[in-house]
Structure 1
Amino acid sequence: MLELNLPKYKYRIEQRAGKLAIFDPIRKKFIVLTPEEWVRQHFINFLNNHLNYPASLTSVETGHKYNSLTKRSDIMVRNNELNPLVLVECKAASVPVNESTVRQLAVYNTQCNARLLIVTNGLVTYACLCKSPDGEFETLDQIPDYNSLTAML
């Protein structure tokens, strides 16, 4: 797999049913290792182990209703009241982070109302803070750690 612009960590990879699988500490099981899953697992590690977002408040592939469609967010972190706090959209490193990717995340957030939105392909990462429900946001130069984010709100 490609080296990413995210901290390295000791991941666990096994051969399962003829396919490589990586251990997901949030779902507590091995997941087929796709390029997108590679990015997702690195980003989970970054959030939980480097920025101190609680693993107990982190979920993966959370389902959301948008109109009559069910959509899944890659990573969601909730606050202590269990309301969405952070929404992350992960793409494979080969997929460019562009307006379409950001729009996908914004659509998911119409149902979630998370305060911090992040889109990443493991090489490029963008984050913005939602300042109001009507779409006003502030682009961030870096992703705040959990304590800094909760202090901002």
Structure 2
Amino acid sequence: MIKIYYPTHSFKIREPERGKEEIWDELRKLWVRLNPEEWVRQNFIQYLLQVKNYPASYLAAERNIKLGELNKRFDLMVFDRSARPWMLVECKAMDEKLNSRVMWQVLRYNMAVPVKYIVITNGEECHAFVRGEVDFEEIAVLPGYDE
């Protein structure tokens, strides 16, 4: 498991007329509903940007992918400098356990969009894996962007 120390960030949060809190997503440049999973995603984005120094222009949040006949959405994708998918991040709410169901979900996404690194996090726990010769192997620290 990787210990994540989230940086402080002044998130923009509003409560529109509908009564559901929203948070400004700096990557998507739009207001999104602030649910527990979104809170984890936004904090993890700030960790990648501020602590790991990943370039914002190579991050994408909540994009559609085709998985057979199904349309799915990944939480966060990091692209390499050649704009190829490099890391896939699956975010869950803090009270959700990171179990085999979560891992299988992200592995299915990886079938549609192969990546070198897979990360699963619920904000408290974070596990990262690198593609090995045969399978993904757990790693103890997230790679730097230039690795």
Shorter-chain TM-score above 0.5: yes
1:6 maps to a residue whose letter is: Y
**Which whole-Å deviations, capped at 9, do the CAs of 1:58-101 have from their partners, x for residues lacking one?**
11112111110011100001112111001000000011111100
User: Identity, % of aligned pairs?
Assistant: 36
Alignment match, 2:132: 131
Which of 1 and 2 has higher RCO (CA within 8 Å, sep 6+)? Answer: 2
Q: Which has the higher helix share?
A: 1
Give the equivalent residue in structure 2 for 1:146.
145
Bigger shift: 80-89 or 135-144?
A: 135-144
Tell me if the contact between 2:7 and 2:50 (Cα under 8 Å) persists in the aligned partners.
no
Distance 1:137 1:59 in 2: 22
Residue type at the aligned position of 1:38: W
Normalised to the residue count of structure 2, the TM-score between the two structures is 0.91
Structure 2 gaps of 5+ residues are none
The residue number in structure 2 matching 1:88 is 89
What is the match of residue 105 of structure 2?
A: 104
Distance across 2 between alignment mates of 1:24 and 1:80: 22
- Cα distance, 1:6 vs structure 2: 2.9
1:1-153 matched pairs, under 5 angstroms: 6-17=6-17, 18-132=19-133, 135-147=134-146, 149=147
What is the aligned length? 143
Equivalent pair of 2:87/2:116 in contact (CA under 8 Å): yes
- TM-score norm. by structure 1 comes to 0.88
Counterparts of 1:85 and 1:94, CA distance in 2: 27
CA RMSD in angstroms comes to 1.4
Helix, strand or coil: the match of 1:73?
A: strand
Q: Which runs of 5+ in 1 are unaligned?
A: none
Distance apart, 1:108 and its partner CA: 0.2
What CA distance in whole angstroms lies between the structure 2 residues aligned with 1:12 and 1:71?
27
**Alpha-carbon separation, structure 2, partners of 1:107 and 1:16:** 36
Which letter maps to 1:143?
Answer: L
Query: How far apart, CA to CA, are the structure 1 residues paired with 2:27 and 2:82?
Result: 19
1:49 to partner: Cα distance: 1.5
Q: For the residues of structure 2 that align with 1:70 and 1:131, how far apart are their CA atoms?
A: 28
Alpha-carbon distance in 1 for matches of 2:81, 2:144: 15
- Displacement of 1:138 in angstroms is 1.9
What's the offset of the Cα at 1:112? 0.9
